Amino acid sequence: MGEKTEQKPRISRLVIGLGKTSRPSTDREEWVKTHYEIEFEIGAGVTPDEFEKARRAALQTIEGWLAESVGKSPLAVLNPAELDKLPWKEYKSGHRNAWVFANTQGAEKLLEAIKSAPNGRVEVGGFVYRLSGKDLQFISRTVAAEAVQK
């Protein structure tokens, strides 16, 4: 009868994944985890060189995405000392909870970070920042320990 030939296993797909964890700017912030994946369907006639070229190109693409995401993250550019310089108006005299108009010069990066946060809240330098007011025209800040209780 016929001889049985042994078939070598063939790679039919290539998945490249890469992630990065970024250090927060303050001790109270959570670490930022970013992960990207690229998946390729591999045809039957792909050579080992073509396979390696695709793998390297995928890694370079993902590394570029990671560099962009960390560099452009609104939280990455917020400096607690700079935020303290905004013209905060205390809710009560001597209290640290305060507000400022959302369109205040110097608050642009904070406003961007709040708007891009999934829950509409950003914690930086011991404060939780969020939009408030009927038309969300204010940025409110609450001492983080008090914000947890609410």
CA-based diameter of the chain, in Å?
97
Residue 129 has pLDDT above 60, yes or no: yes
Q: Between the CA atoms of 26, 72, 108 and 118, what dihedral angle is there, to the nearest 10 degrees?
A: -70
46-55, 82-91, 137-146: least confidently modelled range: 46-55
Residue 45 has pLDDT above 90, yes or no: no
Looking up tokens 């009868």, which residue turns up?
1
- Enter the tokens of residue 133: 């007011």
- pLDDT of amino acid 62: 74
Which of 29, 36, 35, 12 is closest to 127 using CA atoms?
A: 29
pLDDT digits (tens, 9 = 90+) for 12-41: 777 877 776 665 555 555 666 777 788 878
- AA letter at 42: I
Q: Model's pTM, two decimal places?
A: 0.52
More confident: 72 or 125? 125
pLDDT digits (tens, 9 = 90+) for 60-107: 777 777 666 655 556 657 888 899 999 999 998 888 899 999 999 999
Whether the CB-CB separation of 102 and 90 falls below 8 Å is answered with: no
